[in-house]
Structure 1
Amino acid sequence: MKSLFEKWNSINLVNRIIAGIIIGVVLALTVPDALSGVTILGTLFIAALKAVAPVLVFVLVINAIASHVSGKATNMKMILVLYAIGTFLAGLVAVVVSFIFPTTLTLKTQAQDVAPPSGILEVLESLLFNIVSNPVSAIMDANYLGILAWAVVLGIALKVASDTTKSVIANVSDAVTKIVQWVISLAPFGIMGIVFEAISTTGLSALAEYGRLIIILVGTMFFVALVVNPLIVFVVARRNPYPLVLTALKESGITAFFTRSSAANIPVNMALAEKLKLDKDTYAVSIPLGATINMAGAAVTISVLTMAAANTLGIEVDFITAVILMVLSAVSAAGASGVAGGSLLLIPLACSLFGISDDIAMQVVAIGFIIGVIQDSCETALNSSSDIVFTAAAEYAKERKEN
């Protein structure tokens, strides 16, 4: 059994995940009823990732800050700038694509039990209250802004602690990291369950009517991932960006696509950052922060669906309003994780720019939920892979300057 386990772990994780995807598809198409219990594997895997991620972020950030040697530079300022630029450019591309390929919607579906924020101030207020939330509640509720805030404060306070105390914190951090590695090693089984459930229960038939919208959304996200992000990396690091970008999409994007949660993908990105030999003092903070505010995929979703609503109603969108939409999409996307329902529930906020009523806007939200099986997966894959891309780009830029 031990040799079998070692042989299993010796296989590249991505290859194991691909095998899990294939097996999940085959089982869903051949014996969907006989093996319905397979879906629990996906549920357990996502639950395990979501359970360990808050604790991992909390201890890693505390350890990174407490053990940080004064005078040693990190790249957080550059990473934050890259996050902001990436998110804004994603909104810009989405608006341009919407002008080139205007899309209309069939507004007939009502959204139920959802309450969008009333304005940008409510989004910002929600973010501020998340920051000052109780630390125990923040960990329990996976409130990453609150977790980051408390971890930073505790890390700063523990910088003057004894070496013994810092050693204990480092040991706890290593132990949690090891647990995360165990959970990630189960990804092929979890993703097999997720794929099985998606194909055997949901299918893709319900998405046919919205095919054009899906193509626009997914195409825009692919363009951002394969053209915009590489261009940013090249400008910053002055090196071929595609080895990094493709590695991030393969090892981070694939997992994020199936888990549909940037928070759940934090451990995966942490492991990839370590594999890329990035500075732990930097990525221990930038990766969980990116899962909270680096939302290029959300900016695409908000912009495309808002423009589709405007086109459906025959509203002419001028250049100034389009620019405002880009900025609003970027700011709203950064706050998406602090609002129940994510990026979709911020669409009414963007629609208000064009005077579109909440009743119409919520029908657009409902359409978003219908295509969410693809839209949300691609959005999360772009968001999460961008975290590792920009963190690494900042590291490469630092190395270039030093050399």
Structure 2
Amino acid sequence: MRTLIHKWNKVSLVQRILLGIIVGIALALSIPNATGISIFGSLFVSALKAVAPVLVLLIVMSAISKHKKGQQTNMKSILALYGLSTFLAGLIAVIASFMFPVSLSLVTGASDLTPPEGIVEVLKTLLFQVVDNPVNALMNANYIGILTWAILLGIVLRNAKDSTKDMLDNFSDAVSQIVKWVISLAPLGIMGLVFDSITANGLSSLLDYGKLLFVLIGCMLFMALVVNPLIVYLNIRRNPYPLVFHCLKQSGITAFFTRSSAANIPVNMRLCEEMDLDADTYSVSIPLGATINMAGAAVTISVLTLAAVHTVGTEVDFGMALMLSILSAVAAAGASGVAGGSLLLIPLACSLFGISNDVAIQVVGVGFIIGVLQDSFETSLNSSSDLLFTATAEYAKKRKEGKDFVIKI
């Protein structure tokens, strides 16, 4: 048995995950009533969500406490890349929605949802997340609050004794090892998630929304395969596709099935370590990206909002379309990093065009119907971009400094 496990661990994680996908599909088609299989997926996602807040707190505290004065990070560049990508995603979604206008058959069933009333409420919520109680932030996976406390404690602990810093480092390494154990169970978890997705939703229920899915997924693929590579090329002046495909394969696949940017934080942290990226940077940029780098969410908000606009027959001029691009980018930064987090921001964008909340909530209901695919592609784009832009900023810095660099993939 030990030899078998050793051989299994020698197979690359991506290949093991692909095997889990195949087995999950086969089980869903052959024994769809075996509901116990789906528990593997629930346990895997729960384990990732459980370990991620502790990992972020400890690894950020440890990295900042050991940070030496004068040592530069790439956070400004990464934030600029996050913002540019999210805005362009909203703009492309708006253009695509005018090229391929979609009207909806509105549904009910989402009347119990309470979307934010305006962009001020979204920003207010973000500010209150910053000053959240640290224990409450950990319990509720509030990564803005966790990052704030980790950064402040890390700064204060820069003056602590080396023994204290070493203890923090040991705890950080210990939690990182637990993360590796959890991620090694990804094939079983993905198998359960695939089984649950197919047996619970199926694909036939999505046929009525084919055109809407075409626009949504088309925009996200355009961002992942055209816009993001262009951004990377302009920064590193090298063929971007090896790095882009590496991020999509290693990070995007797990994010596709977990459908949670927050749950994918440990995966991206491990990948940054394997790529030899600067720990002082990625320990902050990855959890922060899971909160604010939301190109996929910007696409969802823009496309579904304009679908509502086309359904009610409202005329939209260029100025309003540009405003929607900006609003969707800002609102996307306030979307929670969990499954379906962007959908509740659609009524906020709909209010820009005077669309009633009753209609907007029905559009949210449509979003939940197609969420089995829409949210998977959205999370895959969001989370893989966190890794992509963190790596891009580091390689761009080395290029500007005239240093030779190797993209380790």
Common fold, TM-score beyond 0.5? Answer: yes
Deviation at 1:204, TM superposition (A): 1.3
The match for 1:43 is: 42
The match for 2:6 is: 6
Question: Over residues 80-138 of structure 1, what are the superposed CA-to-partner deviations in whole Å (9 max), with x where a residue is unaligned?
Answer: 00000000000010001011111111123341310010000100111111111110110
Aligned residues: 402
Q: Distance in 2 between matches of 1:87 and 1:135?
A: 29
The match for 1:247 is: 246
Question: Over residues 341-379 of structure 1, what are the superposed CA-to-partner deviations in whole Å (9 max), with x where a residue is unaligned?
Answer: 521111011011111000111110110011111111110
Deviation at 1:340, TM superposition (A): 9.8
Deviation at 1:36, TM superposition (A): 2.0
The match for 2:357 is: 358
The match for 2:200 is: 201
Sequence identity of aligned pairs in percent?
A: 66
The match for 1:17 is: 17
Structure 2: state its 5+ residue gaps: 403-409
The match for 1:377 is: 376
Q: Distance in 1 between matches of 2:208 and 2:166?
A: 58
Provide the secondary structure at the position in 1 that maps to 2:145: helix
Provide the secondary structure at the position in 1 that maps to 2:395: helix
State whether residues 260 and 337 of structure 2, in contact with CA within 8 Å, keep that contact through their aligned partners in structure 1. Answer: no
State whether residues 63 and 173 of structure 1, in contact with CA within 8 Å, keep that contact through their aligned partners in structure 2. Answer: yes
The match for 2:189 is: 190
Question: Over residues 191-244 of structure 1, what are the superposed CA-to-partner deviations in whole Å (9 max), with x where a residue is unaligned?
Answer: 000101111222112111111101110111000000010011011111111111
Q: Distance in 2 between matches of 1:66 and 1:386?
A: 27
Deviation at 1:332, TM superposition (A): 0.0
Q: Distance in 1 between matches of 2:124 and 2:32?
A: 46
One-letter amino acid matched to 1:61: V
The match for 1:32 is: 32
The match for 2:405 is: none
State whether residues 259 and 338 of structure 2, in contact with CA within 8 Å, keep that contact through their aligned partners in structure 1. Answer: no
Q: Distance in 2 between matches of 1:108 and 1:84?
A: 33
- 1:249-264 to structure 2, matched below 5 A, reads 249-264=248-263
One-letter amino acid matched to 1:20: G
Q: Distance in 2 between matches of 1:119 and 1:301?
A: 18
Question: Over residues 13-42 of structure 1, what are the superposed CA-to-partner deviations in whole Å (9 max), with x where a residue is unaligned?
Answer: 000000000000001101122x32111100
The match for 1:136 is: 135
The match for 2:293 is: 294
The match for 2:389 is: 390
One-letter amino acid matched to 1:390: F
Is the alpha carbon distance of 1:339 and 1:14 closer, same or farther for their aligned partners in structure 2, counting shifts above 3 Å? closer
Deviation at 1:388, TM superposition (A): 0.5
- RMSD value over aligned CA atoms? 1.1
- 1:71-86 to structure 2, matched below 5 A, reads 71-86=70-85
The match for 2:152 is: 153
State whether residues 129 and 142 of structure 2, in contact with CA within 8 Å, keep that contact through their aligned partners in structure 1. Answer: yes
State whether residues 58 and 168 of structure 2, in contact with CA within 8 Å, keep that contact through their aligned partners in structure 1. Answer: yes
Question: Over residues 245-294 of structure 1, what are the superposed CA-to-partner deviations in whole Å (9 max), with x where a residue is unaligned?
Answer: 10000010000000000000001101111111111110010000000000
State whether residues 24 and 195 of structure 1, in contact with CA within 8 Å, keep that contact through their aligned partners in structure 2. Answer: yes
Is the alpha carbon distance of 1:11 and 1:191 closer, same or farther for their aligned partners in structure 2, counting shifts above 3 Å? same
Deviation at 1:2, TM superposition (A): 2.1
Question: Over residues 22-80 of structure 1, what are the superposed CA-to-partner deviations in whole Å (9 max), with x where a residue is unaligned?
Answer: 000001101122x3211110000000000000000000110110011111111000000
1:224 has 2:223 as partner: yes
One-letter amino acid matched to 1:320: G
State whether residues 340 and 371 of structure 2, in contact with CA within 8 Å, keep that contact through their aligned partners in structure 1. Answer: no
One-letter amino acid matched to 2:136: S
State whether residues 62 and 152 of structure 1, in contact with CA within 8 Å, keep that contact through their aligned partners in structure 2. Answer: yes
